[in-house]
Amino acid sequence: MNRKLKLTELNRISVDGYKKQEKTPIVVILDNIRSLNNIGSFFRTSDAFNIEAIYLCGITATPPHREIQKTALGATEAVDWYYNENTLEVVDVLKSKNYKVYAIEQAEDTILLDQFEYNAEPIAIIFGNEVKGVEQKVIDACDGCIEIPQFGTKHSLNVSISYGVVAWHLVNQVISK
């Protein structure tokens, strides 16, 4: 039988230790995410996968906020984050720093996630509004779109769930090589 580990057995690092460790060169851009719970989930998932930074854009709320904190559970203290009202400015800055930028979106000529190869080069992944998705003008500025294959009737996942799937896929490619 497997015994559940106690919190004291998880060997968690401190926030300072987390901030000092080398990060996976993945940046996440939130393009007009409206749900504070989703924003908190992005922080918590970013902490779990050692993501470089989160850019909060447009109407996306910023910490500190009680509703973000409910799901982030302190990850807003560990994960580096920045705010910029204009998502396109963030895309341009990251591209000038040699990041490849991909929207996570259902679009023409997408790369299916299970076929996307990631070799730990600097990458930015953009997630859009829960209803409208990533803005078309932002998609136009990207290097491409990545789509999560889906097989049900909705062809839609919660945005923070989509992030968990994509982040795991990318990070798993790095650690399995």
Architecture of the domain delimited by 22-147+156-175: 3-Layer(aba) Sandwich (3.40)
Distance CA 32, CA 130 (A): 8
Non-local CB neighbours of 8 within 8 Å, separated by 6+ positions = none
Distance CA 134, CA 32 (A): 8
Domain positions in the chain: 22-147+156-175
Query: For 115-159, what is each residue's pLDDT tens digit?
Result: 999 999 999 999 999 999 999 999 999 999 999 999 999 889 999
- Amino acid code (one letter) for 175: I
pTM for this model (two decimals): 0.95
**Low-confidence spans in the chain with pLDDT less than 50:** none
Distance CA 123, CA 93 (A): 12
Distance CA 2, CA 156 (A): 35
* Three-state DSSP state, 127: strand
Which position has the token pair 């600097």?
122
Q: Give backbone dihedrals phi and psi of 14, rounded to 5 degrees, phi first.
A: -75, 165
